[in-house]
Structure 1
């Protein structure tokens, strides 16, 4: 690789010389180009000549010109270097190299054509067995693979491959099923939960899972719970006791009918006590679990998952999954993305690919929405001005500006996708900038600057909302906070907060988490009402009645002008006809364990 860089530097120093054209040059000139001694120049030229890149005919004597003939264009060398980087698992470096502005488009096309053949599913026979690999595109950065500190969908998906919780929630039957725990029971007060663990479950480093690992996991989650997802559940956990090597007793401070569902989330995945204590913060980058795959590599270019043969629910069909970090795969030409991979998330299926590709639109969806911070003094304390904000958000225009597939207007968390409008929602007005500005003036809005706060992942949504509000006459600035800052007190300095929620298997838990978090910026009466209804949800054993109460919270917030829906986006998965065993996990991503390929 280093020798190739020297050749490129040398070749670019004489752009007027064609390949196979002799160049008369002195060692002094070459030493200046390569920034090294005469002796090293001669050694480099001999090595390049041996590679067939050039021909070097030296002449003796200081100042006498020797003959140099280039045989390989610099662009060809760049292409070979990019291929070499890919084969060394440095895709980011290869793409950066091929994005040099001076490179001809034909060379980039050749690189991507080669890349197409490198990605996707590959199979090779090694002795008496076949080794199957899936290369999968990943467009989100993996900041953490520690179940206790994950924040984003891609992180949660990988955690699902590496770890297991005590139980699993079955979306089809709407029941909790055994997993690491083969059985469980709760006492009459519904505050003491006893879990009985399977015997012989192994962590990736070879040690058997015990009740002590479960106790450690839940105690650790309590330490990490400040601002974390579902932290309200952990605040109710009083004690966790390992009654014997395979029996765990969890005591709650009050009944919580959703505790068992929480025990089935990836957030509550069981970690090994010994390695977590040893690695501390480093565990997030190199975790060890009990899942069907174990982590072999995790760097800036890719994440490699190798099969874990002793997995307690049976060995995965694949031997390896390589998650390649590729920015902008959704913006690539359709042919490139679809030839490169056998499974693609959130990608529009071209008409010409309908015969060889299949498409699944999942049940889960993400919802973007706004809430109003009534803790901060400002114009939005006035319900009429909050109504004006709601009226200014032309969701048809918002969706048009967003573009994309499987996006539609949102009116409710609970009834998403049924097309029914919430009767308690404020009336949307006809959008007319002049009328809107006149209305704002009548309402007493004097041009005060409103701060709209969100995290960097939703910056584009915030900018589109900002544009719509500005067109209606509001002065709006966007403030981006890190995820940790957004969880804390800094967001309470904003007037408007832009959130996103994933409504999947854990929809009940996620809604409770959202409303618990929203209480921090509600006015006292609304805060008390939401708190009362949340307590009712936690004590209700019927899922149907829980959802009715969650709907009542939503309707109350909407009627008070405290919650403004923007849009839903469903996740769609494309997969090639050769892919078999496609099933979806709680976050509506493909479960790698079940995938196999028909040759």
Structure 2
């Protein structure tokens, strides 16, 4: 491949020379183009000549010109190099090769069609054994696979393939079930939880799971300086007592009826106590868990998971799962063929393809919303201005601007049903904004870069209503910190899945930082009551009371909800969904 790169470099250095056109050339010109010595240039030319890429007729003697003739077009060589880079799992290098302006669009189309055909299920025989691989495209790069610090659904899903938690939530029965722990019990006060571990569970590095690993996992979460999801639960842990290698008791400061639910989340995925060793960053690069797959390769382009033969719940049917980050995949719709994927998340099928595809029933919903920051001094401190801007966020217009068959207008986290947004007359919205006392002060809307499109749509709707509004984009870590509180409006998203109660409480605890005192006290009282309520219906009522208060104070405005869908081809068997409504790789198999 290095020789091919030299050829491409040489060919592009002489763009005026046509293919198969004989051109007089001096060796020093070629050496300069390849940035090497005359001797090395001669060796490279001979190798290229032997490959049939060019003809090189050297002439000896002063004043005599050698003859060079290019045989293979540079574009063809570039595609060959790009394909070889893909085979070597260097996706970034392949895409960079194809991002050359001189390559005609027809050849780029050819490469992208080939690339998308590279995805999906493949099977081959190795030493009389069948080896099954699933290649899965991702539009979003993987930032981390450390379960304590994942920020996105894709990362959390992969954590579920690499790690296990003490217990698991059954989405069908809505009950907690044994997993790494085969049993557990709580004391009379509901503040001491004792877990009993299964014997013989192995980490990917061959070490056996023990209660010390559970203690290390939870204490690492508690003492982390990074603000992460459900941090408030970890802060309630008062002590962790290891009774013996297979038994431990976790003591809480106060009762929390969602503690078991928390222990089933990917945040509490168990890592070995010696995970860090002498290099804390080593675990981030090569995380070790007990899950059905182990990580064997990870860079900015590709993540490779191989089946863990010693998994305590049985070996996966697939031998390997490869996840490839294709950053511009949405723009490559015209190259995509459904048959090359077999499994597709959140994709709208064409009518003619529906007969051979099926849809998994999913319960999860992603909800986008805006909160109002009353900690900041500005026009939103005025209830009349706040209500006018709240009303000006026209859901009906947002839905018209958005595209998707699973998108709907929402007005509640608890009641996940579509509503009919009111029809707003733009002239009335503008008049109401004027009467509120709003005098054109600039409003800042802050979100993370992943939600830029939503922020720009909200900005467009509010500008049309007469609001002067700017969009500020932050990284995820910056958004977790204090910088977001410099903005008037905060746009974010929530995944309403099996853990929606935990996620809602996490949201409301975060919102308390920028609520007015009376509302903040109200929210705190109802959160405390919800965490001590043993029945799900009772907690739902308490959380809905918080929702109503935030709506009436005009500090929480829903934008839209999006139902999650997973389509799969009829050849795919063993489809089941995890808590994040992603397909569990362990159970997948293919019918030939």
Matched, 1:521 2:514: yes
Q: Does residue 446 of structure 1 match 2:444?
A: no
Instruction: For residue 227 of structure 1, report the CA deviation from its aligned partner.
Output: 2.3
Tell me what 2:407 maps to.
Answer: 407
Q: Deviations over 1:89-134 (max 9, x none)?
A: 0112212221322211221232233324422111111113111110
- Partner residue of 1:561? 554
* Superposed CA offset, 1:366-387 (max 9, x none): 1011111112121112222222
Matched residue, 2:198: 198
CA positional deviation for 1:481: 2.2
Aligned to 1:366: 366
The Cα of 1:428 is off from its aligned counterpart by: 5.2
Instruction: Give matches, 1:423-442, under 5 Å.
Output: 430-432=424-426, 434-442=427-435
Residue 265 of structure 1 corresponds to which residue in structure 2?
265
* Within-5 A mapping of 1:192-591: 192-224=192-224, 227-333=227-333, 336-360=336-360, 362-417=362-417, 419=418, 430-432=424-426, 434-591=427-584
- Write the distance in 1 (CA, Å) between the matches of 2:560 and 2:216: 40
**Pair 387,380 (structure 1): closer, same or farther in 2 beyond 3 Å:** same
Match of 2:140 in 1: 140
> Contact (CA 8 Å) 2:112, 2:335: kept in 1 or not?
no
State how far apart, in whole Å, the 1-side matches of 2:492 and 2:306 are: 35
> What RMSD, in angstroms, separates the aligned Cα atoms of the two structures?
1.7
Tell me, what secondary structure is at the counterpart of 1:569? strand
Question: Take 1:481 and 1:29, find their aligned partners in 2: how far apart are those partners?
Answer: 49
Q: 1:429 to 1:339 in 2, by over 3 A?
A: closer
Cα-to-partner distance string for 1:208-249 (whole Å, 9 max, x where unaligned): 000000011111110126521111111111001111000010
What CA distance in whole angstroms lies between the structure 2 residues aligned with 1:393 and 1:534? Answer: 28
Choose 208-217 or 460-469, whichever is displaced more: 460-469
Distance 2:541 2:249 in 1: 31
> In the alignment, which residue of structure 2 is the partner of 1:69?
69
The whole-number CA distance in structure 2 between the counterparts of 1:559 and 1:382 is 14
Corresponding residue for 1:424? none
Between the aligned partners of 2:331 and 2:505, the Cα distance in structure 1 is 35
The structural deviation recorded for 1:278 is 3.8
Aligned partners of 1:334 and 1:350 also within 8 Å = no
Instruction: Decide which moves more: 106-115 or 227-236.
Output: 106-115
Q: Which moved more, 1:498-507 or 1:50-59?
A: 50-59
Q: Could you state the TM-score of these two structures normalised by the residue count of structure 2?
A: 0.97
* Most deviating of 470-479 and 159-168: 470-479
CA drift at 1:16: 4.1
| CA shift in 2, pair 1:530/1:277, >3 Å | farther
The answer (yes or no) to whether the contact 2:445–2:490 under 8 Å persists in 1 is yes
Matched residue count: 592
Q: Which residue of 2 aligns with 1:47?
A: 47
List, as ranges, runs of 4+ consecutive aligned residues in structure 1 with deviation greater than 4 Å. Answer: none
C-alpha distance in 2, partners of 1:42/1:32?
Answer: 12
Alpha-carbon distance in 1 for matches of 2:273, 2:126: 36
The CA distance in 1 between the partners of 2:364 and 2:334, in whole Å, is: 25
Which SS does the other structure have where 2:67 is aligned? strand
Q: 8 Å contact 2:112–2:332 — kept in the other structure?
A: no
For structure 1, list consecutive stretches of 5 or more residues without a partner in the other structure: 422-426
CA drift at 1:271: 0.6
Alignment partners' CA distance in 1, 2:401 and 2:200:
54
1:396-420 deviation per Cα after TM superposition (whole angstroms, max 9, x unaligned): 2212222233111111100112x35
**Do 1:233 and 1:259's aligned partners in 2 also have CA atoms closer than 8 Å?**
yes
1:373 touches 1:495 (CA, 8 Å); kept in 2? yes
Partners of 1:449 and 1:494 in 2: CA distance: 10
Cα separation, partners in 2 of 1:225 and 1:196, compared to 1, 3 Å: farther
Q: Structure 2: which 5+ residue stretches go unaligned?
A: none
The correspondence of residues 99-118 of structure 1 with structure 2, limited to 5 A, is: 99-118=99-118
Q: SS of 1:470's equivalent?
A: helix
Measure, in 1, the Cα distance between the counterparts of 2:279 and 2:49.
49
